[in-house]
């Protein structure tokens, strides 16, 4: 069972901080505060685990998926992609 969760750089969340999860967890908050994003993140994890593409780091969804999150850039907080410099 998932007992805690922390999401960073996803949609409207720079960092959720530690979220304690219980057998029954409810999210309350104002409109546009990011409640749905947490559910979408969990659905993306499920879709990725069930995806037939074993090389996929994540599966944001397709035409018949329960959640369709669009491109990687659309999922990143602030839509700012970090450039990795290995040198």
Evaluate whether residue 54 is within a structural domain: yes
Backbone angles phi, psi at 49, to 5 degrees: -65, -35
Give the chain's domain count.
1
List the domain range (segments joined by +) for residue 62: 35-71
Residue 10: inside a domain: no
Around Cβ 66, how many Cβ atoms within 10 Å? 10
**Residue 46 located in a structural domain:** yes
pLDDT, one tens digit for every residue, the chain (87 residues): 889 999 999 999 999 999 999 998 999 999 999 999 999 999 998 888 888 888 878 888 888 888 888 888 888 888 776 666 665
Tell me which residue has tokens 């069930």. 50
Q: Is residue 23 part of a domain?
A: no
pLDDT for res 13: 92
User: Are 22 and 1 spatial neighbours (Cβ–Cβ below 8 Å)?
Assistant: no
Kind and range of the H or E element at 55? none
């Amino acid at each position: 069972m998932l007992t805690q969760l922390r999401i960073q750089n996803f949609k409207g969340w720079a960092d959720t901080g530690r979220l304690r999860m219980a057998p029954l967890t409810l999210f309350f908050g104002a409109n546009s505060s990011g409640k749905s994003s947490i559910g979408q993140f969990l659905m993306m994890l499920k879709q990725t685990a069930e995806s037939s593409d074993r090389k996929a780091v994540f599966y944001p969804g397709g035409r018949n998926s329960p959640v369709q999150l669009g491109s990687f850039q659309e999922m990143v907080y602030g839509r700012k992609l970090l450039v990795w410099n290995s040198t």
